[in-house]
Structure 1
Amino acid sequence: MTLLELDGIETYYGESHILEGVSLSVGEGEVVALVGRNGVGKTTTLRSILQLTPPREGSITYRDEQLVGLETHEVADRGVGWIPEDRRIFSQLTVAENIRVAVPDRAAVDAALSLAYDTFPILEERQGQDAGTLSGGQQQMLALARGLVGDNDLLLVDEPSEGLAPQIVADVGEALAEAARDTTLLLVEQNLPLALDLADRFYVLDNGRVVDDGDAEEVSADSDRLRRYLSA
């Protein structure tokens, strides 16, 4: 069953034409990776879905409901979550407080904290520490934990491994694989080994257009298929 479908999306920043006719679909229960070089429109695609940068043309449907024209909070209310590239944690709140504010149902806070700490044990050790004093890797874990504890059916994840040490990348990969058991993921990621390990299918963006797509098995059998779009 198709959960999310983009059809002919045209998105601009001012007069700059960023997305040109982008079409893709995400089935319920899938992990779909969106890959490509920096600056080709991957993050803009996520922002278009969330209506942070609404498209000027095209259709975005989620559970057969049109998202174009909704406010961002209305998209979120329908079960679409976002883990942004720049983390967007509350630096002056503690780790525990950051997780609590991501859970609108007060009765679910204890379960959310348990899930976050089970996923990233270091966060339990740092639960009383201001988030702004965490290392970069720990802040990324916190950002992921905030996304994972939300009541989301679809999670948009933007470059979760960027700038992280290899061991933390492995931890992030394990957390996303666990999340994918219950949540559909649309993943923007340039770390090909991580993306290949997680994704069921791929779309490749280049200069604001989808130029290739396929399943992970096909891509794994042709190592150069994606790399030619990721080279500078």
Structure 2
Amino acid sequence: MTLLELADVHTYYGDSHILEGVTLNVDEGETVALMGRNGVGKTTTIRSILQLTAPRTGSITYRGEELVGRDTYEVADAGIGWIPEDRRVFTQLSVEENVRIAVPPDERVDDALELAWAAFPDLADVPDREAGSLSGGQQQMLAIARGLVGNNDMLLVDEPSEGLAPLIVETVRDALAEAGRDTTMLLVEQNLPMALDLADRFYVLDNGQVVDSGDADEVSTDSERLTQYLSA
């Protein structure tokens, strides 16, 4: 069943036409990678779904319901979670407090903490530390942990490996792979091996348009089909 569908979406920043007719879909239970160079519209696609930057024309439906024109909190209430590129942890709150405030009111906090600590044992060692004092890698772990405990039907994950050391990237990949067993994901990621490892299908954006798509197991990390759109 199709969970999320974008049809001919056109999104602007002022007079700048960023998304030029983006059409894609994500089926329930799958992980879909959205790839492309910097500046081609990947994050704008996420922001369009969330109605942070609403499309000027086009349709975005979730479980068959139109999202365009709704408030961002309504999109979140529908079951769409967001792990942003810039992490956005609450820097003056502790690690545990950051996780606790992401837990829905009808969920058990202890169960959520257990899930977060199991995904990221490094965080379990520092539950009382202020989030602002964590390393970049630990903050990314915390951002993903908050997404995992939010009981979302779908996660929008924006560049989770950006700026991280290889060992941390491996930890993040493993956590997302585990999350993908139970949660539908749209993953924005420039790390091609990681994206293809996690995804069932992929779309490639270039100049605000979808220029390629397919099954992740159809391509390799050195495929010219993809690298022509991903290399600087």
TM-score when normalising by structure 1: 0.98
Q: Aligned partners of 1:177, 1:224: CA distance in 2, in Å?
A: 26
Name 2:137's counterpart in structure 1.
137
Q: Aligned partners of 1:221, 1:116: CA distance in 2, in Å?
A: 31
Name 1:39's counterpart in structure 2.
39
Q: CA RMSD in A?
A: 1.0
Name 2:227's counterpart in structure 1.
227
Size of the aligned set, in residue pairs, is 232
- 2:11, 2:18 within 8 Å by CA — same for their partners in 1? yes
Q: Aligned partners of 1:174, 1:225: CA distance in 2, in Å?
A: 26
Name 1:159's counterpart in structure 2.
159
State the shift of 1:108 in Å: 1.6
Name 2:96's counterpart in structure 1.
96
Name 2:172's counterpart in structure 1.
172
Q: Aligned partners of 1:105, 1:12: CA distance in 2, in Å?
A: 36
State the shift of 1:210 in Å: 0.5
- For structure 2, the 5+ residue unaligned runs are none
Q: Which amino acid aligns with 1:86?
A: D
After superposition, give the CA deviation of every residue in 1:7-59 in whole Å (9 maximum; x if it has no partner): 00000001110000000000001100000000000000000000000000000
SS in 2 for 1:104: coil
After superposition, where does 1:189-208 map in structure 2 within 5 Å?
A: 189-208=189-208
State the shift of 1:67 in Å: 0.4
State the shift of 1:151 in Å: 1.2
- 2:34, 2:203 within 8 Å by CA — same for their partners in 1? yes
State the shift of 1:104 in Å: 2.6
Q: Aligned partners of 1:220, 1:39: CA distance in 2, in Å?
A: 23
The 1:108/1:56 distance shift into structure 2, 3 A limit, reads same
Q: Which amino acid aligns with 2:52?
A: L
State the shift of 1:209 in Å: 0.5
Name 1:63's counterpart in structure 2.
63
Structure 1 moving runs of 4+ over 6 Å: none
Give yes or no for the alignment of 1:75 onto 2:75.
yes
Q: Aligned partners of 1:194, 1:214: CA distance in 2, in Å?
A: 16
SS in 1 for 2:92: coil
State the shift of 1:106 in Å: 6.1
Q: Aligned partners of 2:52, 2:108: CA distance in 1, in Å?
A: 28
Name 1:52's counterpart in structure 2.
52
Name 2:122's counterpart in structure 1.
122
Q: Aligned partners of 2:56, 2:86: CA distance in 1, in Å?
A: 25
The 1:107/1:3 distance shift into structure 2, 3 A limit, reads closer
Q: Aligned partners of 2:118, 2:221: CA distance in 1, in Å?
A: 35
Name 1:8's counterpart in structure 2.
8
- 2:99, 2:146 within 8 Å by CA — same for their partners in 1? yes
After superposition, give the CA deviation of every residue in 1:191-220 in whole Å (9 maximum; x if it has no partner): 001001000101000010001101111122
Q: Aligned partners of 1:230, 1:19: CA distance in 2, in Å?
A: 18
After superposition, give the CA deviation of every residue in 1:80-105 in whole Å (9 maximum; x if it has no partner): 00000000000000000000111131
Q: Aligned partners of 1:50, 1:57: CA distance in 2, in Å?
A: 15
Q: Aligned partners of 2:116, 2:143: CA distance in 1, in Å?
A: 10
After superposition, give the CA deviation of every residue in 1:150-205 in whole Å (9 maximum; x if it has no partner): 11011000000001111110110100000011000000000001001000101000
